[in-house]
Amino acid sequence: MDAAERALLEDALRKSLTTCGPEAEPGAALAELGWAEMLAEEPDTAIPLVFRLLGETGAQAPVLNDVVLLAAGRPLGGTPPLPYAGGAWVRWARGDRAPTGPLDPGLPLRHAEPGDLPAPAVAAGRRALGWWLLGAGRAMLALAREHVLDREQFGRPLASFQALRHRLAETYVALEAAEAVLVAAAAPETDRSAGENTEAPDSVDALDHTSALLAKAAAGRAALTAARHCQQALGGIGFTAEHALHRHVKRALVLDGLLGSTRELTREAGRLLLRETRAPRLIDL
């Protein structure tokens, strides 16, 4: 898929996700655009694009199930149990529009019995969730930027205050760094499928697991940083139900817990570093 085709696909996806009404079946718009075919034929393009747009638009769809099932070698269409922060397990229900919980009623997550997901499925799910968190972070930053450019205080635009500029700059740097890690995290799997990686299979799998772990941790930390700083930039209006920020904050908090929270993954990365006495270099600076 060349750049022009990718741009057309992104535009179509964005329009579908932003124009579907509240009564629309979750994921129906993506299904009509051929999500299953894209996932099977162009996963390196479909996953980052779709999950980032879900974050940016605030929409939701049960596509994480498909990514996990495909990586596990299982048929699409099911709802596998997914580990959640704190040792819990959940299922992402399909076609369910009923409110689910006090934090983010828009996500149809249900408590589930513990299951067994192979490591490649967990790694694929973490990379996909990383893109979703990145999109949510970028949406929050866009809202905060628009606010500080439009509003004035003491006769000056909010964007002229250094404290706010520092907060938004820190958010931008965190999101850019997280995107770089997510792009690099796809390299081990891509190289292996192309036959370019000459390492032993066990070491390649370990690198895939670690890179996906670090990518989701980085994306989760960036999204939480965006939530904290953008809330400060928006002030009281960011807490209101009338403003869109609270929806992205809730979404980021819930998604951060899926397949391991930022805190849990950071601790796991530390344990891996102590055991292996080295860490993979995802990006050459």
All structural domains of the chain: 119-276 (1.20.140.10)
Per-residue model confidence as pLDDT tens digits over 61-113: 999 999 999 999 999 989 999 999 999 999 999 876 555 666 788 889 999 99
Confidence grade of residue 200 (pLDDT, cut at 50, 70, 90)? low
Average of per-residue pLDDT across 185-191: 61
> The whole model's pTM is what?
0.89
pLDDT at 194 over 50: no
What does the DSSP assignment read for the chain? --HHHHHHHHHHHHHHHHHS-TTSPTTHHHHHTTHHHHHHH-HHHHHHHHHHHHHHHT---THHHHHHHHHHT--TT----EEEGGGEEEEE-SS--S---SS-TTS-EEE-------HHHHHHHHHHHHHHHHHHHHHHHHHHHHHHHH-EETTEEGGG-HHHHHHHHHHHHHHHHHHHHHHHHTHHHHHHHTT---S-HHHHHHHHHHHHHHHHHHHHHHHHHHHHHHHHHHGGGGGSTTSTHHHHHHHHHHHHHBTS-HHHHHHHHHHHHHHHS--------
pLDDT in tens, 123-167: 999 999 999 999 999 999 999 999 888 877 777 888 778 888 999
* Averaged pLDDT of the chain: 86
Which residues, 6+ apart, have CB-to-CB distance to 142 below 8 Å?
A: none
CA–CA gap between residue 275 and residue 266 (Å, rounded): 14
Which of 153-167, 174-188, 259-273 is predicted with the least confidence, judged by mean pLDDT? 153-167
